[in-house]
A and B are shown apart, each in its own frame.
Chain A
Amino acid sequence: MAATTTAGGLGAALQAAEVLESIVSGCVGPEGRQVLYTKPTGDVLFSRDGGHLLEALNVEHPLARVIVTCVSMNRNVTGDGSKTFILLLCDLLRGLKAITDKERGSFGGSIQSQQRHWKSCCQWKYISQAILTFQAHILDYIVAQYLSKHFLSIFSFSGEEKKFCRRSLELLLDAYFCGRVGRNNQKFISQLTCDYFYKCLSHEDGKDEMIDLVDEYFLELCTAVTGLPVSSSRIVSGFVIHRDFSVYCPADGDMRIIIVTEPIEPALSTSGSELVVKSEAQFQASQIWITERTATIMNDLQSKGIKLLLSRVKQHDAVIYYAKLNGISVVECIPSEEISLLCRIVALSPFMPSWATSQCHISDTALVQFCQPILLNSKRYVHLGFLSTHSFIPHCLVLCGPVQGLTDQHIHAFHGAFKVLRQVLKVLYLSYKAQGNNQNETSNSVTHRDNKQSYHLTEVYRALFERQCLGSVLKSEGDPSGMQPHFRATPGLVLSSIESENSTPSTTHTHKIKGDFESLICTYPNKIGIINAEEPLVAIRCGCNGDSLIEIPDGYVSVVEQTCKMSNTTTGMTSKEVFQNTSKSYCTSFIQAGSVLPVGGHFEILLHYYLLDYSRQCQQPEIRMISSLIANALLSVPKTLYTAKRGNKSFCNVYLRTVHALQAKQWMAASQTGLESVACKYQLLTSVLHCLTKLLTVDLVIRINKQPQKTGDDETE
C-alpha cells in the first residue's frame, strides 16, 4: 500500500500531452482519417471526434486525465475543437519547456535536482497565474481591439435588416463536417444538415429556440438505417415515432390525437388500497365493470373525434380491441423522451383517464396532418405530420450507412453541428482592463520591472513561510519516505505538506534562489538580444512580397519560426493609436453574434500576428514572454493543417502571405472554402489556457491505493 509519487509540472504534463497529440493529430483537418473504436460491448464505432476518442482511450495517467476532462468540458459547450485543443496545449507546454530549459542552463549545476524541481514548480505556479491574468485582461483586449475588424458575419445585411445567409451557413457546416466525418460523406452530410436547418426553421427569430430543441432531442429526431448507402439518407417532414402501430386504422385528413402516460383500463385495485373479494359473482362483476369502463372511455374518445392514441405504456388487450372497434389507431410503449418532444411540438399535456365519473373529461387534444406507417430499417414506424404553429417545424433526419458505427458517427456529428450553430449565434462578452498605463511603463526603466518582480517574489515567499509554520511537524524533508503516511492518510493535506517540504530548504537557500530568480529575469533582455543578432533573416521577409512568395521552399519554415520570435525587430504601426484610445478602467466589449473567419488557421495566424505585435510594444517581460509564447503556440494549428500541402499552399507560404497582407493593412478574408466561428475558437483558446494553468499548478502526483469512493470521478465531471 505504499503511495508512489511522480513529479508533476511541466515535463510530465508535456509528456502526457504529447502522447495525446500523437493520437489526435492523425484525424485533424480535412485530410484527417477515421478512427475505429470498439466498445467493451463489442460494438464497433467510427469517430473523428477528438473529445470522443480521448474519452475512449481510458487513459490512466493522471495528468492526461486532467487534460481529457478539460477537453470534454470544452466540447460539451462548443461541440467542436477537441483536436485543436490538444495541439494548442501541447505547443504551449513545449514553448514553456523551451524557455525553462534555457533558464536552467544559466543556473548551473550547483543546486540539487530535487530542490530545482521544487523551485521550478514554484516558478510555474507563478507563470500560470500570469497566464490567467494575461488571458483575462490582454487577450480579450487584443481580440476586441484588433481582431474584431477582420471578422466576417454569417448574416448578410441588407439595409437595416439582418438576414441569415445560407451560403455562409453552408460554408460553416462544410468546414465543421470536414473535421468530423469520413472523407466520402463530408459534402453530403453538410448539405443535408443545412437543408435540415432551413426546413425546420419557420422564421428567422425562432432559430435560437429551434437550435435548442434540436440540440436537446437530436436522438429522437434522427433515425439510423443500416445496410443502405449513405447517399440514401434523407429528410422526412414530420416526426417519426420509433414504434409500430398496435392498431392502425387508416384515416384521411386532419386527425385529432391524444397522449396518455398510463394504462387506460382501470386496475382491480390501486396502490395503497385493498379489494375484498367476497364472492365469485362480485369478482366477475368487477371484471365486467372494468371492461365496461374501458369501452366507455374508448367510445368517448371516438365521439370526441380522436383518431390516434399515443401511449407511453403498454395498454391492455381490451383497450386495443375497443380502439380497433372505434377506429382509433394506437401506438404503445413510446419512449418518454419522444413523448416529451411530442408534447412540446404540439403543446399538449397528457390525458388522464378518470374512472369515477361516467363521462370522462378530455382536456387536451391536438391536430395532426397525417399519421401513417413508414418503413425504415426493415421496421415499421409511425410517421406523424404536424400543423405546427411553433418556431420549429418538425422534420426527421433518416441517416443511412452500411454499418451502425457510421450512422452513429453521423448522428453525433449532426448534434455537434447544432452546438456549433448555437455558439455562432451567441454574443460572446469580453471584458478587459484597459491598457492605459502601458505607455508610462514604457518610459520607465528596467528597475521598475525589477521592483515589481521582486514584490511578486516576496509575496510568494511570505506565503511559503506561513505554510511552513503550519506544517513545521514535517521537518524530515530530507527523507521523503517518512512523509508518506501523512500523504496517504489525508489527501486534502497533501498540497500544503508538499509545499512545506518545499519551503524548508528554502529557508537556508532563500538568498540563493532569490538571486537565481533575478538572474532569470535578467535573461529576458539577453534573449531578445540574441534574437536581434539574427537580423539578416528579416531581410528575407521584407524582400519577398506578393507573387514572389511562391518561390519560397518549405525549408524556410525554420526561418518563419525565427522571425516569429523576433519580438522587437519590426516597426510597429498601430501601437500608438491603440495606447491612446484606451482608458484606464475596465472595458467591456463583445464578439458579435454570427462572427466568423475563414478556415485554414486564419484565426490563429491573425491572433498570432497581433499578439506578437503587442508583445513588441509591451515592456513587462513576463507579459511579453506569455504573449509571444501563446502567439507561437497558435501557429501549431495552421502548421498541422498544412503539413501535407506543398508549394503555394504550404504553411510557410500561407503564413507569409497573411502576415505581409496584415502589415500592408490589406488583409482580406479571401479563400471562401469554409468558415469557422470566432466565438468557438476564442472559447477554445481560453479553455486551453485554463487547462494549462491547471496543469502547471500541480507539482507532485501521488498515487493512492485506496478504492475510489464513488464510481468513476471522471464520469461525473
Chain B
Amino acid sequence: MSRVKAKKPSLCTCELLTKEIISKSLSILRAVVTSCYGPSGRLKQLHNGVGGSVCTTSSSSLLFSNLSVTHPILKILTTSVQNHVSRFSDCGLFTAILCFNLVEHFQRLNLSTATVIKISKHLLSLCTDYLNSESCGCRISVDFSNMKTLLCLVQSILTSKPACLLNKKETDHISTLILKAFLLTIPEKAKDHAVLGKSIIVPLKDERVMNSAVLPGIVIEMPEVQLIRKFPIKKLPSDALKVALFCMSMSGDISEPGEGTLVISYGVSLESAVLDQLLNLGNRLITDHVDIVVCQKVIHPALKQYFHQHHIITIDRVGISLMEPLCEMTGAQTIGSLSFISPTSYGYVKDLCSTNFGSKHYFHLIPNDSTVCSLLLCNRNETAWNELKLACQTALHVLQLTIRKPLALLGGGCTETHLASFIRHKGINVPECILKVNDCTQTEYKIVTNAFCNALQSIACSLEHDKGKILTDRKYGHFWSIPPDFPSNVKWQDLVSECGCGLYGNQEELNWCLLQDIHSFAPQNSSIQQATNSTGHLTLDCFTAKLHGLQVAVETASLILDLSYIIEDKN
C-alpha cells in the first residue's frame, strides 16, 4: 500500500537581489568565473569530495556542468550560459561575466527595473546594429583564400584555454592540425548547398602533443585479440575494397518471439538455427566478394573465424556514433536483414591498413574521396587531454560558424572597449523619440548607458589577472595593458607595445588614458582592413558566438532583474 503524503508548502522569498545571501553567492560565482577568463586566466581544480578524478579547467562548460549551484537565480544564469555554449561552443565565459557585471551594475542604480530593462534592451539593439553594420570598427572579414586569419582565429581559441597546457610550438602545431581537419571536411564539389563532413577526434592520452596528427578517413581501434592472428593482407586486382556495414547484431541471438508463446520440441536448438543463418549470410558475403565486414554490434566468434578463413576482415563493436561517418565515407547502406542483401548496399574504401599510435593498434580505413577525417589528439594527461579536446571541438565549431558568416571580431578586450566607447558616444545626445519610446528621461538614459558601458569595460579588465593597469586610447578605443609596477616618471607611451588584439602598435600618437577615466569620444574605424593586412598576428573571436553571447547576457540579466520573488517547491 502506498502512503500518500500531503504536499509541503512552498517557500516564497522576496526582495531578492538586495538580500545579502544572494548578492554574496552571486559575487562569489562571479569571482570564480572572472578569474578564469583569458589566456592568463587562473585554472580551477574540481574534485569530488567522495572520490573520482580531478578535473583542472578554466572553461565555462566544464565549470558550470560540475558546479552544483543551488540558488535558482544562479541556476538561471548558469543554464543560460550552458545553453549558449551548447549552441555556439565559444564565448561562454564572456557571456557569464557580462551577465554578472550587468546584474551588478544595474542593481546598484537607483532606478526602476522597468526603465533599466527598457533602456538596456535599446542599448543592446544599438550594439547588435553596430556590429552587424559595414562601418563597424571592431570586426574584420575573414578571407578563406588566405589561411592567416583562420589560423589566428584557431590560435586565439587555443591560447584562451590555459588548462590545455600547451606551449607556443604545440599551440601552432595543434592549430594547424585543426585547420587541416576542418579543410578536409569541406566537400570539393560544392552543389547549391554543401554539407560539411565530419572530423572524428580520436583520443590518444599520455602522449606527446607533437604526435598529434590528422588522417583522412576513419581510424578504428583494433582489439588485441586480432593482433595475435596475422593481419591478412590481400592484394586485390581492383583498387578498392568492398565493405558491408551491418547495423544489426550478428551475435546469433534469437529475435524476439512476439507476444505469444514459443513451444520448442526437444532437441531443437534455436541457437544453432540462427548460427546456420549467420553462416549462410557469411557464404553470401563471400560469393559477393566482400573484403571488409563492419558491424555496429557484436559478430559471433564462429562467424568471425569463418570470415577470417576466407580472408575477410571483420571489425565489430563499432558503435552507433561511427556508423553515420562510415556510411558517408564508404557509400554503403547499413544492412538490417540476415536473409536478403541487396547488392546496392555495399560500399567501397580505397585501402585498409593497420597503424600504430603509441601503444595502440588501429585499423585505418582510407577513403577514395571523402569529407571524413580523423584527428588523433595527444596530450600529456587525462584532464589536459579533455580540455584540449574541448578546445578542438570549439575551434572546429567556430570555423563552421565562420564559414557561414565570414566575419570575426577583434579579441583581447578590444571589441569590448571599442563597443563601450561607441555606446558612450551615442549616448551624448539621444533623440527625443527614443526617450519617449523607452519612457525615460535624458538623465536616466545616461545613467543606464554608463552602467552598461562599465559592465562591458569590466569584462575587458577581467583579462588582466596580474594587477596590471589597463589603458585605452582615444583614437580607436582599443585595449592596452601595462605592467603593474612601473616607475612614475615613465610615460605610458614607452610602456605599451601593442593593443589587446594586436591590430595597432605603439607607433601612432594615440593619446592613452586609464580605462576607468575614459570620457566619450568618437572612435575611428576607417582603416581597419588595411591595418589587418599589415600586422602579423591578431587575436580574434568568433563573430556569431560573441554576438549571441552579448544578446544572451543582456537578456538573462534583464530576466534576473525583473524577478520580484521566488517560489521554491520543497517537495
Seen from chain A, the residues whose Cβ lies within 8 Å of a Cβ on chain B are 23, 26-27, 31-40, 44, 46, 53, 56-60, 182-184, 226-231, 267-281, 283-284, 287-288, 291-292, 295, 316-322, 324-325, 378, 401-406, 707-708, 710-712
Contact = CB atoms under 8 A, between A and B. Distances in A.
A44 B76 contact: yes
Interface stretch (B38-46, B373-381, B554-562): B554-562
Interface in B525-561: 548, 551-552, 555-556, 558-559
B52 interface: no
Given A44-B75, A275-B263, A277-B263, A229 B548 contact: yes
B566 A35 contact: yes
B336 A321 contact: yes
A261 B442 CA distance: 64
Given A280-B273, A280-B276, A378-B87, A325 B258 contact: no
B4 A711 contact: yes
B433 interface: no
A58 B571 contact: yes
B336 A404 contact: no
A378 B548 contact: no
Contacts of A38: 72, 75, 566-569
Contact of A40 (B4, B12, B569): B569
Given A23-B12, A182-B562, A275 B265 contact: no
A679 to B, nearest CB: 30
Given A56-B569, A227-B87, A287 B339 contact: yes
Contact of B563 (A36, A230, A316): A36
A268 B255 contact: yes
A245 to B, nearest CB: 12
Given A44-B79, A183-B114, A402-B80, A276 B265 contact: yes
B83 A58 contact: no
Given A280-B268, A402-B80, 7 more contacts: A34-B559, A34-B563, A182-B558, A229-B548, A378-B86, A402-B83, A711-B4
B565 interface: yes
Contacts of A31: 114
Nearest to A715: B7
Contacts of B555: 184, 229-230, 401-402
A273 B556 CA distance: 60
Residue among B117, B255, B257, B265 with the highest chain A CB neighbour number at 10 A: B255
B335 interface: yes
Contacts of A276: 263, 265
B260 A57 contact: no
B131 to A, nearest CB: 14
B73 interface: yes
Contacts of A40: 569-571
Contact of B87 (A228, A284, A711): A228
A271 B564 CA distance: 58
Contacts of A708: 4, 6
A283 B3 contact: no
- The 9 A-B pairs at the shortest CB distance, nearest first, are namely A267-B258, A269-B260, A317-B336, A227-B83, A321-B336, A271-B259, A33-B564, A280-B273, A227-B87
B350 interface: no
Given A283-B273, A402-B555, A35 B563 contact: yes
Nearest to B113: A33
Contact of A269 (B80, B262, B345): B262
B552 A278 contact: no
B262 A275 contact: yes
Q: Which residue, of B83, B263, B264, B552, has the highest number of chain A Cβ atoms within 10 A?
A: B83
A274 B273 contact: no
A274 B263 contact: yes
A278 to B, nearest CB: 5
Contact of B118 (A183, A317, A320): A183
A284 B114 contact: no
A402 B552 CA distance: 6
The secondary structure that dominates the B interface is: mixed
A556 B321 CA distance: 73
Interface string B1-36: 001101111101010000000000000000000000
Interface string B98-122: 0000000000000001100110010
Given A40-B569, A57-B567, A318 B259 contact: no
A717 to B, nearest CB: 15
B410 interface: no
A227 to B, nearest CB: 3
Contact of B559 (A23, A46, A227): A46
B359 interface: no
17 contacts: A33-B113, A34-B562, A36-B565, A36-B566, A37-B567, A38-B569, A44-B79, A58-B10, A59-B9, A182-B562, A229-B548, A231-B551, A269-B257, A320-B247, A325-B333, A403-B76, A708-B4
Interface string B472-493: 0000000000000000000000
Given A36-B563, A228-B548, A402-B80, A58 B9 contact: yes
B339 A291 contact: yes
A44 to B, nearest CB: 5
A35 B75 CA distance: 14
Contact of A226 (B83, B248, B336, B558): B83
B145 interface: no
A27 B564 CA distance: 8
B258 A268 contact: yes
Nearest to B269: A280
A105 B339 CA distance: 95
A319 B334 CA distance: 12
B430 interface: no
B339 A33 contact: no
B272 interface: yes
B337 A318 contact: yes
B397 to A, nearest CB: 11
A317 B339 contact: no
Contact of A34 (B8, B118, B273, B564): B564
Contact of B265 (A228, A278, A287, A707): A278
A319 B260 CA distance: 21
A183 B342 contact: no
A572 to B, nearest CB: 41
Pick the most buried of B79, B333, B334, B548: most chain A CB atoms within 10 A of its CB: B79
Tell me which of B87, B258, B563 has the highest count of chain A C-beta atoms within 10 A of its own C-beta. B258
A710 B3 CA distance: 10
A273 B268 CA distance: 20
A274 to B, nearest CB: 5
A36 B568 CA distance: 8
Interface string B421-460: 0000000000000000000000000000000000000000
Contacts of A325: 333, 342, 344-345
A53 B344 CA distance: 60
Given A36-B72, A318-B336, A57 B263 contact: no
Contacts of A404: 79, 83
A59 B9 CA distance: 5
Contact of A26 (B7, B256, B260, B564): B564
A280 B280 CA distance: 14
Contacts of A280: 268-270, 272-273, 276
Contacts of B338: 287, 291
A707 B1 CA distance: 12
B347 to A, nearest CB: 13
Nearest to B87: A227
Contacts of B263: 274-277
A184 B117 contact: yes
B280 to A, nearest CB: 9
A324 B333 contact: yes
B83 A56 contact: no
Contact of B260 (A33, A60, A275, A281): A275
A447 to B, nearest CB: 53
Contacts of A46: 559
A321 B248 CA distance: 10
Nearest to B121: A184
A301 B115 CA distance: 62
